[in-house]
Each structure stands twice: as structure tokens, then as C-alpha cells.
Amino acid sequence: IILDGKVITGLPPYLIAREGVSRTYQNIRLFSNLTSAENVLIGQHTHLKAGLFGAIFRTPAQRAEEARALKRAVELLDFVGLQGKGNWVAKNLAYGDQRRLETARALANNPKILFLDEPTAGMNPRETEELTLFIHRLRDELNITIVLIEHDMRVVMDISEYIAVLD
């Protein structure tokens, strides 16, 4: 697979992520005992520069980078509809909010391509409709290529510009 002229096939996952590929999972995979903000901060890790020295001695550069990362985490939580829930522990969020949090964490990587694996799994029709509109926002406002793996054909048809079917 080539992304922006660079071969990413065979790279370890952290390098693929650094190149701009993010994903969410069919079964939510959050750090359930961490806060929403902490989960999103983890999504930024491939782009943070502070090393061991900066972390131990809390250098001005490390503190500034941490402040920027936290500001970005709050912005992403707001974007996905989790305003004011940055300090909530992930496992205490409603199911739909956990899905949104997982998306915020994926967005924290600044992806060029976002893979969404069964994003509407377990959702009722209203939640599915809201998520469909949200995926449109991701594509249109953030200019991200979305690769959707989905079995609900109404969702597929509402979201997709191009469709590939695998059997």
C-alpha cells in the first residue's frame, strides 16, 4: 500500500499511524479507566516530541507541548459532541458517547485516512442517523478519506461516494 508516495506495507502499526492512518474498531477499545481527555491524548502520541528527559524534568518545551496537546484534545472532544466530558472516565460514558470518544482518539492522530469498522454496530435508528451525519462532517469539514466497513446498506448508501463490495 502506498500513501502519499510512501510504501507503508509491512511497517509496524505506530509508523503506519504516524503516516496518517487511523481506525476505530467494531468493538469499542478504549482505555476504560482513563478519562475522555486522556484517551484522546493517547491518540496524539505518535506526533509528540518530548522525550524521556523532557518528561522527567518537565522542561518548558515539554510543558508547552503538553498544553497544546490538551487544548487539541478538548477541541476534538467538542468536535465529536463530548463538550464538558473531558474529565469523565470512559467506562462511565453512554455507549454512543464511547463510540464518539473512540473517533476523537482516532482523529487525534491527524489522519489522512480513517477506517471505521462497523461504526453503527449496536446503535438504534436515531443514533445511526446521527452518526451518519457525523461521518459526513468528518469527511467534509476535516477533508479526511473515510473507509467504511459496514453491513447496514442504508448507512452505506447515505455516506458513500464510492462502494466496493467484497465477497
CB-CB neighbours of 94 under 10 Å = 9
pLDDT of residue 36: 98
Where does the pLDDT of residue 50 fall: very low under 50, low under 70, confident under 90, or very high at 90 and above?
confident
Type of residue at 142:
L
Where does the pLDDT of residue 4 fall: very low under 50, low under 70, confident under 90, or very high at 90 and above?
confident
- Helix 95-107 with 60-79: angle, nearest 10 deg: 130
CA atoms within 13 A on the CB side of 36: 26
CA atoms within 13 A on the CB side of 24: 29
Classified as helix, coil or strand, 150 is coil
pLDDT tens for 71-115 read: 999 999 999 999 999 999 999 999 889 999 999 999 999 999 999
Q: 159 with 146: CB under 8 angstroms?
A: yes
pLDDT of residue 155: 92
Measured CA to CA, the distance from residue 61 to residue 70 in angstroms comes to 14
Residue 100 is placed in which grid cell? 464518539
